[in-house]
Structure 1
C-alpha cells in the first residue's frame, strides 16, 4: 500500500529490484528499460531519480543488503550511459553514491564500483571543475579515497586492484583537462600508486609486462569504450608471472602518456612527476632507466620531445649541490637520447645550451670544492651531449652542435685572451644565441625567461679555464662519435673544417691535457667525420671545407701549429706520437688537399731541424727524423709515386738498423692514444720486457744505447728536397705545374696564411680521380664537384 503513495520515479526505481536475498543481483531488465525511457523523455526527473538512488543505496548499505546495492549501482550506471549529455545535472549524486560504497569497507562492493566509476570518468566533461567548489571538493576526496583504499585489510593485493582500476579510469578521463589545477592534483594523486606497483621490476621484466599489456589490448573489443576489461586481464594473467595489478598499473601509466595533441600538458605534468618520483626513491630507479624509452614510445611521435624538455627543465631547477639528483636526471636524459626513440620537434640547441651551462656552473663549483661525484656528473653530461648527436633532426645539426663548442675555444674577437701559467687562455666567451622552440606545447613567457636565465648562468667566461676547455674538446669527440654511430633518415652536412679555425692554439698549449684533448678531437674529426678516400670516391658534399678561404686558412694555421709543436725541445715521445697521428690523418683523409698544405711545412721542418740540431737530444732528433720519414713515405704512397716510396722506405730501414736512430713508438698507421694507454698498462704490470714508458726524450745520458759509429744527425735520414720535387714531377704527370710548385714551395709561417688567395685559384686535377676527392660521411650522393683552390 505504501508504494501507491510514492512518487512515480520512486515506484519505477523500486520495480527494478528483484526479490529474494541473493548475494548478487541485477536490475529487472524490462523495468529498467522503462525507467530509462521515463527519464530520457523527462530530463527534469533525472535529478530526482539520482537523489533517490543516493538515499536508497545508503539505506541498503546500513542494512547490509549488498545485492540491492549492486542493483542501485547498475541503475546509476545505466542512467549515465542513457543520458551522458546531462551528467552534470546529477554528477554530485554519482560521486556521493560511489563514496558511500567505498566507505562501506566491503571489498566485493568496492570492486563493483569499477564499472560506474569508469563510465562516469568516460562521460564527465569536467565542466563542474570550473565553478562548483563543492563538487570539486567531493570529487577530489573520492580520488583520494580510491587511492588510499589499497592499504586496507589483509587482502592487500585485492584492495590495491581497486585503487589501480580507478587510476586507469582517471587516466582515461577527459575531465583531467578541465583545469590545470585539476590536472596537477589528479596526476599527483594517482601516480604514486601506479609507480609503487611498477618500481620492483627489472629491465627485462618491465618489457615483458608491456608485451603482456599489448596482448590484452589486442584481445579486447576495440569497438567498446576505453573501459578496462578485468575479466580478460585475469584470463591472460593466470598463466604468466605478472599479476592483474601489474597490468592495471602499466595500463594506467600508458594512458597518461598516450594522449591527443590537445593534452600536451598532461605529458609534461606526468613526466615531471615521474622524474620527481625517481629522485625521491633513489634505490628503486632500475625500472625507470629501462623504461624511459618505452614511455616515450607511448607518446604521439610529434610530442615525444616534451618528455626530454621536461627532463631538462627539471634539471634546471635542481640545486647544484644536489649531485645525486642531478646524476639521476642526467642518466634519464642519456637513456632517452641513446634510445631509438625519435624526438621530432626537439630544440637541439636549447638542450645543448642547458647542458653546457650546467657543465660550466659545475666546473666553477668544482674549483671551490672538488667532488668525485661531480666529476662523474660532468662525464655523464658530456656523454648526454654525445647521445644528443645520435639522432638527426635537421641537416646542419651536427655542424651547429660542434660549432657551439668550438666557438668557445677560439680567442675572442676585439678582446685579448690572456694565458695563465698553466697554459690555458682566459677571457669572456661570446654570448650564447638563445633558440626558443616553437611547438604545440606553447611555451609560456615565464618558462622561456627561466631557460634564458639558466643558460646565462654559464655563459660568462664559458671556456676560459683549463677544465672547461678539456671537457669541451672531449664533448666534440662525443658529438662526432654520436653523429657517426646514430641512425636517422636525414642527409646531414658534415662539420666543415672552417669550424676549427682559431682553435689551433690548443696544439701548442703548455698544458699537456689541453694538447692531448685537442689531438683526440682532431683525430676523431679527420677519421670519423671525413671519410677515407676510396677507389670509387667522389666529392659528395660541397661543405667539407665550408668557406674555401677559411678552410684553407685553418689548414695553414694547423700546419703552422704542428711546426711549432714539433720544434719544442721539451717534447715527450707522446708528443711526437701526437704529431705523427695528426699529420698522417690529414694526408689519409684530405688527400691532395692535405698534402698541398702539409708537405711544404714538413720540408721546412726538416731543414730547420738540420740547422738547429744542437738544441735537441739524440732521442728527440731520432723522433723528429721518424716523423718526417714516415710522412714522406705516406705522401709517396698516397700520390702513387713508387720510386719515392722505395727511396724513403730504404732510408727508414737504414735508420732503424742503428741503435738509437729510430723512435719505435712512431709507426704508420699511427698508434692511437687509446692503444698507447693500453701499452703503458701492460708494461706497468710487468707483462713485457723491461722497456721504458713514454717519458721526456731529452735524456742526454743514454749514450750506451747508441752505436759509436752512428751519429743520429738529421742529414743521415733526410730526403733531399730537390729529389722529392724531381720524383713528384716525373712520376705523376696528372698533377698540374701549379700544384707541384705549391706542394714543393719554400714554406714559412708568415706566408702560410697569406697564400690563401692564391690557393683559391689553384686547380686540383680532374674531380673524377679518387685521389683528389673528399667523400663525406653523409648518406646523400650528389654529383661530383670540381674544387678549385
Structure 2
C-alpha cells in the first residue's frame, strides 16, 4: 500500500539527492542548507534524520546506487560539522552506516567512496567528546569494529597508504581515547602503522644503526643550551601524510597517548634498531616530556632480557645525542641500570653495556651535584657487603663515570672515600673539584699521598694537588710536613721541591734537593727564611703563622681565604683607668680616661666612686703626696660647689627679671622672697636628681675625706640669707 503522506524529514532528505545513477553525484546545495537548518532546530528532528539516512543507505547498497551512497556520506559529514554539539544523538547511526558501506563488497573497492568515508570519520573524531569514549560501551564497540574494518580494507583490499595514514591521523585526534583500555589498542596499532609506513618511505631508517657512544666523544654541556638536530618538529609544512600522522601521535601534551606512541616506537625499533629514527621522533616530542622515552625504555629491561643490550644501546644513543632532555631523574635511571647490571643471570655483555650507559648518562649536566651523586650511589653499593662479588663490575662503572666527566665536579671527600676501590686513583683525581670545604679533607689528602708505595705516583699526586688547589695545597702541606713523622721521607722532600717550584724560589728548591741527598730536614728557622719576604712570597704571612704555631690547630683553608691585605693592628693604646681592688671585689671599668680626669658630665653611666677617683688622681703623683690623705679632684669640687655660686647669684637675677611659674599662665602678687625660695627649691631638686643619674655620691663613706669648697672664704651676700629664710 502506497503511503499517501511522506514525513517532512524524509521529504527534506530525499530532495537533497539529484536524479540519475551516475557515481559522482553531489547533494543539492539549497536543499542541503535547508536540511541543516531543519535539524538544528530540534534534537528530535536530528534523530529522525539520522535514522532515515541509515534506512536509505541500506536500500541504496542493495540496489548498488553508488552515487546515492556518495551523497549520503557528504550529508553525514555536513551534519556532523554543523551539529557537533549533539553528536551523541546521531553518531551511532552514522558509524553503523559506515560499517555497512565498508562491509559491502560492491562499494568497498571504490576509492571515491572510501575517501568520503574517511572524511566523515575524520569529522567525527575531531568533534568527538572523550566522555562518550569512556562511558558508552556500545559506542566503543562500534568504534573499534569500524577502525579495524577500515584499516583492513585500505591495507589489504585497496593498498592505499594515503587513506591508511589519514585514518591513523583521525584516530590520534580523539580526545582521551587512550584512557579507555579497549580503545587504547587502536591507538597503538595506528601509531605502529604510521611508523612502519614512514620507514618504508625513508629507507635510511630501515637499516640497523647502533654505533657505540664512545666513537664520537661529546663535550659536556647543559642540555637546555644544546643545538637541536633536524627532527620531526622541524617538518611543519611537509606534504607527507606519514609525517603528519607521526606528528599527531608524538607532538602532543596528552601523556597517555604519548606513552602508547612511545611503546609502539620501541616495538618498531626492537625489530630494526635505528638510533637515527629514535632521535628524529624524540625531537618531535615536547621537550619537557622527552624524559618519558628514557623511562619507558628502562622499564623494558625487565620485560625482555634477551634484547636488553639493544635497549641499552638505544638509550645510550639518545643520551649522547643532540636531543635536549629536561626533567630526567638521573639517580632513578642509574639505580635501575645498576639493578639490571647486578641482577642474577645478567650476561657479561649486558653488564658492560650497563656501565657504558651509566657513563653516557653523565655526559650531560642536568643539575649541579649530579656527578657527585652518581659516584655516591656506586660507593653505597661498594660498601654493601652483599655486593662483594660485584666489586669488579662497580669499579668499571667508576671508570666510565670518570671518563665521561669533562668538568671537574667530584668533591675531594668523595674522592678520598673512593680511593680504596679504584686501581688508578690519579685518573680519578683529575675530575675532583678545585673547591675545598675544609682543612680536614686537604690534610687527609696528604695522608693518602704518604700511604702510596710508588715514589713516582707520590710525585704526580703532589704536583697535581699544587696544580688544582694552589695556595691551599702549599699551606696545608706546610702544616702537614712540619709534624711529619715517618721513616719514608720521600713525600716530605717531594713536597718541598714542589712548594719551591710553586713559589718560584730557586734557593728553596736547591736546599730541598741538598737536604734530600743528605737526609736532613728543614728546621723552622730555615722555613721562616723562605716565608719572610712578602714581595717574593705572597703567602709569607700565612706561612709564618703556621710555622710559629708549634702544633696548634690552625685551619689552612681559613688562612688562604683571608684577603692579602695587611693585618690590622689590634694592640691599640689603651687608657684603662687603674682602680684599686680588695679581696671581695675588683672593679672593671667600662670607660677610659686620659691623664687628666674627664668631667663628670660625660660619665652618665657606670661612673666610678669617689674612692676610685681619688686613686686615679694619686696615680703619677709624688710619693710624699701618696702617703698622706689626698684630697678630692678639683673638677669634682668645682662641680659640687657650683650649686652654691648659682644660689648666691640668684637674688640679683631675680631683682632684674620677673620669674614666672611655668605651671601658671600669670603670676600675680608673688613677693620676691617667695619667688627666690621657689627657684632655689627647684634648683636643689634638679641638682639632687642629676646627682643620682650621674652616680655622684651624696654622702661619703667613713673612711673617705669630706670634701670642702675650693674657695673656703666665701663672702655671703644678703641674698643668701633671704633664700634660706624660713
TM-score range, shorter chain: 0.5 to 0.7
In 1, the alpha carbon distance for the partners of 2:298 and 2:564 equals 48
In 2, the alpha carbon distance for the partners of 1:13 and 1:477 equals 77
1:169: how far off?
0.8
1:644 alignment partner in structure 2? 508
In 2, the alpha carbon distance for the partners of 1:32 and 1:180 equals 36
1:558 corresponds to which of 445, 453, 458:
445
Q: Does 1:383 align with 2:359?
A: yes
1:84 alignment partner in structure 2? 84
In 2, the alpha carbon distance for the partners of 1:522 and 1:212 equals 43
1:590: how far off?
0.4
Per-residue CA deviations over 1:347-388 (Å, capped at 9, x if unaligned) read: 333223222322332xx545xxxx44224323333223324x
1:40-79 paired onto structure 2 within 5 Å? 40-79=40-79
1:30: how far off?
0.3
1:545 corresponds to which of 432, 436, 447:
436
2:303 corresponds to which of 318, 322, 327:
318
CA 1:643–1:71 in 2, change beyond 3 Å: closer, same or farther? farther
Contact 1:293-1:341 at 8 Å conserved across structures: yes
1:565: how far off?
1.6
1:585: how far off?
1.6
CA 1:718–1:63 in 2, change beyond 3 Å: closer, same or farther? farther
In 2, the alpha carbon distance for the partners of 1:32 and 1:163 equals 30
1:633: how far off?
4.7
CA 1:469–1:259 in 2, change beyond 3 Å: closer, same or farther? closer
2:173 alignment partner in structure 1? 172
* Aligned Cα root-mean-square deviation (Å): 3.7
1:572-587 paired onto structure 2 within 5 Å? 578-587=457-466
2:264 alignment partner in structure 1? 273
1:19: how far off?
2.8
1:519 corresponds to which of 401, 423, 426:
426
1:129 alignment partner in structure 2? 133
1:295 corresponds to which of 281, 285, 292:
281
In 1, the alpha carbon distance for the partners of 2:233 and 2:357 equals 32
Q: Does 1:593 align with 2:472?
A: yes
Contact 2:155-2:164 at 8 Å conserved across structures: no
Q: Does 1:728 align with 2:530?
A: yes
In 2, the alpha carbon distance for the partners of 1:358 and 1:188 equals 27
In 2, the alpha carbon distance for the partners of 1:717 and 1:341 equals 62
Contact 1:629-1:717 at 8 Å conserved across structures: no
In 2, the alpha carbon distance for the partners of 1:582 and 1:403 equals 23
1:719: how far off?
8.4
In 1, the alpha carbon distance for the partners of 2:378 and 2:288 equals 28
Q: Provide TM-score, normalisation by structure 1.
A: 0.60
CA 1:397–1:166 in 2, change beyond 3 Å: closer, same or farther? same
1:36: how far off?
0.7
1:162: how far off?
1.4
1:254: how far off?
1.9
Q: Provide TM-score, normalisation by structure 2.
A: 0.65
1:392 alignment partner in structure 2? 366
In 1, the alpha carbon distance for the partners of 2:230 and 2:542 equals 67
CA 1:97–1:587 in 2, change beyond 3 Å: closer, same or farther? same
1:333 alignment partner in structure 2? 315
Per-residue CA deviations over 1:598-628 (Å, capped at 9, x if unaligned) read: 4566799997346xxxxxxxxxxxxx7xx88
1:98: how far off?
2.2
1:204-283 paired onto structure 2 within 5 Å? 210=232, 213-216=235-238, 233=239, 247-260=240-253, 263-279=254-270, 281=271
2:273 alignment partner in structure 1? 285
Higher RCO (C-alpha 8 Å, min separation 6): 1
CA 1:275–1:717 in 2, change beyond 3 Å: closer, same or farther? farther
Per-residue CA deviations over 1:669-692 (Å, capped at 9, x if unaligned) read: xxxxxxxxxxxxxxxxxxxxxxxx
CA 1:582–1:464 in 2, change beyond 3 Å: closer, same or farther? farther
2:610 alignment partner in structure 1? none
- Which is worse superposed, 292-301 or 247-256? 292-301
1:470 corresponds to which of 395, 403, 408:
395
1:120: how far off?
0.5
Contact 1:480-1:524 at 8 Å conserved across structures: yes
CA 1:208–1:555 in 2, change beyond 3 Å: closer, same or farther? closer
1:26: how far off?
1.7
1:87: how far off?
1.0
In 1, the alpha carbon distance for the partners of 2:234 and 2:58 equals 39
